[in-house]
Amino acid sequence: MNLLNKVPTNWDEVYLDQFIELVKINGKELGFYERYIEILSILTDTLPDDEFWDDVDVTDLNNVINSLKWVSTEPSNNYSKNLIGMECIDIDKLSFGEFIDIDYLFAEDKFDNLNKICSILYRKCKYDEWDNVVYEPYGKYDIEVRKYLFDELPISSVYGLLKLFGDFKQNITTTYETIFQPEIDEDEDYNEDTFEPEEKEVIEEEKVMQHWGWENVLYKLSGGDITKYDDITNLPLVFVLNQLSFIKDMKI
C-alpha cells in the first residue's frame, strides 16, 4: 500500500495522540524534508526511518507536502459535548480540586496533557429520579488510565477545551482580581527593612497567590490539617474563591 494515500487531509482525520506528537516536532531542529518526513510518519503511523520514505518518488512527496498546509494552522476551537459515552461537565461548576488539577496540567504543558484534561472534564453520567444529571465523582477513577480512551479521538472533537478553560481561567482571574492581582509588584526592588513584620507576611502571601500556590492555599484553608484537603477540594470553585476574597478583605 502506498502510504501517501493514508495521509489525512484535515484536522478531522488526525487523532489526539498524533496531534500531541506533531506539537512536539516544533521543538526539534530539523531540515525541511526531515521535518515533513517526521510529520508524515506521525500521520501514517510509521517510523521516520521506514524504507518507504527513502524510496518514495520526490514529485509525489512534494505534492503531498504541498497539501499539508493545514498542519501549520490551528484545529477548530469547537469541542463535542458528548464523547465515548461520557459528557463534558459544565466548566462553570468545577470543584476547587478539579480546577487546580486542570490548572496545573494546563501550565505544565496543555498540549501534551490534553488527554488528561479530557479525562477530568468528561464523565460518565446518569439521571436521578428527578431527571437531574448525576456525574461520575471525580477521584473515583484514574485519569492516567482513562486518558488513553481519548487518544484515538479526532483532535477536532476536543481541541476547543483548551480555549474553553483558558477563557474560563481568564474570567476567574479578572472576577477575583483582589485575590490574583498582588498589591506588591515583586519585580520592584523593595527594602524589606522598611516593613513591619505583619507587612512582610502580607507580601509573602501576595507572592504565593501570584504564583498560584494552591498547596499553600489548601494548607491555609484547612488550618494545616491535611485530613480536610478532600473536603475542601470537593467544594465548588466559586464558593472557595469567595471565601478567599472574604479572608483577604477581612485580613483574617
Backbone phi, psi, residue 55, to 5°: -100, -10
DSSP readout, 173-199?
HHHTHHHHS-SS-TTS---GGGS-HHH
Q: Tell me how many degrees the CA angle 24-25-29 measures, rounded to the nearest 5.
A: 125
Same domain flag for 91 and 131: yes
Same domain flag for 135 and 100: yes
Per this entry, what is the length of the chain?
Answer: 252
Q: How many structural domains are present in the chain?
A: 3
Tell whether 169 is covered by a domain.
no
Tell whether 56 is covered by a domain.
yes
Same domain flag for 140 and 207: no
For residue 240, the tally of other CB atoms under 10 A from its CB is 20
pLDDT tens digits in sequence order for the chain, 252 residues long: 578 888 999 999 999 999 999 999 987 888 899 999 999 999 999 998 888 888 889 999 999 999 999 999 999 999 999 999 999 999 999 999 999 999 999 999 999 999 999 999 999 999 888 998 899 999 999 999 999 999 999 999 999 999 999 999 999 988 888 777 655 555 555 555 656 666 666 666 666 555 546 777 888 788 888 888 888 999 999 998 888 888 777 766
Burial class (CB in 10 A: 0-12, 13-18, 19+), 39: buried
Of 130, 159, 188, which one is at a domain's C-terminal end? 159
Reported pTM: 0.84
Same domain flag for 182 and 242: yes
Residue 224's domain comprises: 176-250
Of 205, 209, 219, 218, the closest CA to residue 180 belongs to 209
